[in-house]
């Protein structure tokens, strides 16, 4: 084999490699965090206010993961009127789900993790005392 054929063969192999990589990259599933992220960014100051209000008031909220019982327990504030607990999975937004807590509420709420995918989850709790809104996030890793 001479140099001319070797150079052509290297270019063909390289072009095949690039074509394969382009094909594989276009087949990769990429989820945006939200479809309407631009509109949410405009209103994000309200979210910052909720977070600051939560940390300033030291509102009682605790989350405990119990892997042996496959559940997550929440201790909710006494002043709660309504709340939404969002289980957000960054790796797959189709796995996200919400749990709504309404008045009258228990001071404890338990959510089963038996059917949840293993890995990283972000638990987002948004609640209201009837006058103000609050927000708290916790990380959860399911084994």
Q: Cα separation of 40 and 21, whole Å?
A: 34
Q: Cα separation of 76 and 111, whole Å?
A: 13
68, 73, 82, 111, 120 from 143: Cα distances, Å: 10, 16, 30, 16, 9
- Please tell me whether the overall predicted TM-score, pTM, comes out greater than 0.85 for this model: no
Asked if 70 contacts 114 with a C-beta cutoff of 8 angstroms, the reply is yes
Q: pLDDT tens track of the chain, all 143 residues?
A: 688 889 999 999 999 999 999 999 988 877 666 667 777 777 788 888 888 888 877 666 788 888 889 899 888 877 778 888 999 988 887 888 898 887 666 677 888 888 888 889 999 988 888 888 888 888 999 88
**Is CATH 1.25.40.10 correct for 37-142?**
no
Q: What is the SS3 assignment for 6?
A: helix
């Amino acid at each position: 084999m001479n140099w001319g054929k070797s150079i052509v063969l290297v270019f063909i192999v390289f072009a095949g490699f690039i074509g394969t990589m382009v094909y594989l990259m276009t087949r990769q599933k990429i989820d945006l965090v939200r479809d309407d992220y631009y509109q949410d960014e405009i209103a994000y100051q309200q979210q910052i206010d909720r977070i600051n209000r939560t940390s300033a008031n030291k509102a009682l909220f605790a989350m405990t993961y119990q892997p042996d019982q496959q559940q997550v327990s929440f201790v909710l504030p006494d002043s709660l009127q309504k709340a939404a607990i969002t289980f957000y999975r960054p790796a797959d937004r189709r796995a996200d789900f919400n749990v709504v807590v309404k008045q009258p509420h228990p001071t404890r709420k338990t959510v089963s993790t038996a059917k949840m995918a293993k890995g990283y989850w972000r638990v987002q709790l948004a609640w209201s005392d009837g006058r103000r809104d609050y927000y708290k996030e916790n990380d959860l890793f399911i084994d």
